[in-house]
């Protein structure tokens, strides 16, 4: 389109997610396409910018996924991976909760994910021919509120990831230690989450 005209295209492999997205964003200039990140059904150089978020850790070939994002970006445009976690650098305090991080990383591997994707972002973007900047997001916590508010939701997700990796008794024990640590303001959990910003050569 002309200068000032914005067109946004959302892509997902899951038709149900696209239906959900369409219902929430009925706006001019916003469209949705079903497709696979390994083979984007879009022409070369279609977009000024291409963005993904918590995607690459789930791809069988994340390097090819980044290359595909670069392919559909115009020369001089940008590719951005907003957030990719690195569970290999996870910090759990108090130390008794360290097994949670190890088990959660293993749970992700069993689901087909790469729990250490964050540290690999730079090399993937460089391999795709992008002028690359990589960073890691900082964190800030209100120890009296945020952990307590998120406790139930976090444990619901965690138990789903850890099923089969430890006994129910051990899971309940760790949950109790976690709950007590939150209650007295000792709990700290940090998963380094990386981002990468790449510029495609204008040549």
pLDDT, tens digit only, all 203 positions of the chain = 455 668 999 999 999 999 999 999 888 889 999 999 999 999 999 999 999 999 999 999 999 999 999 999 999 999 999 999 999 999 999 999 999 999 999 999 999 999 999 999 999 999 999 999 999 998 877 766 666 668 888 898 888 888 889 999 999 999 999 999 988 889 899 999 999 999 999 97
Which residues have a Cβ under 8 Å from the Cβ of 197 and sit 6 or more positions away? 78, 79, 80, 132, 133, 134
Pairing of strands 30-34, 130-136: unpaired
Does the reported pTM lie above 0.75?
Answer: yes
In the chain, domain spans: 1-35, 36-200
Write down the CATH number for the domain with range 36-200.
Answer: 3.40.50.150
Which residues have a Cβ under 8 Å from the Cβ of 104 and sit 6 or more positions away? 87, 90, 115, 158, 161, 162
């Amino acid at each position: 389109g002309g200068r000032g005209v914005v067109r946004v295209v959302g892509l997902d492999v899951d038709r149900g997610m696209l239906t959900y997205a369409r219902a929430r964003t009925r706006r001019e200039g916003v469209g949705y396409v079903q497709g696979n990140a390994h083979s984007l059904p879009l022409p070369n150089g279609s977009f000024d910018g291409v963005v993904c978020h918590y995607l690459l850790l789930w791809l069988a070939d994340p390097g090819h996924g980044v290359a595909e994002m670069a392919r559909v970006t115009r020369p001089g445009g940008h590719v951005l991976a907003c957030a990719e976690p690195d569970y290999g650098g996870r910090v759990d305090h108090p130390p008794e909760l360290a097994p949670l991080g190890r088990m959660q990383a293993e749970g992700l591997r069993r689901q087909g994910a790469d729990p250490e994707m964050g540290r690999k972002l730079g090399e993937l973007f460089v391999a795709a021919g992008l002028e690359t900047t990589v960073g890691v997001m900082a964190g800030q916590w209100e120890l009296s509120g945020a952990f307590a508010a998120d406790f139930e939701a976090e444990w619901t997700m965690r138990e789903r990831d850890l099923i089969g990796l430890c006994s129910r008794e051990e899971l309940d024990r760790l949950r109790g230690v976690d709950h007590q640590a939150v209650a007295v303001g000792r709990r700290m959990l940090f998963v380094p989450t990386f981002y990468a910003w790449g510029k495609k050569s204008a040549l």
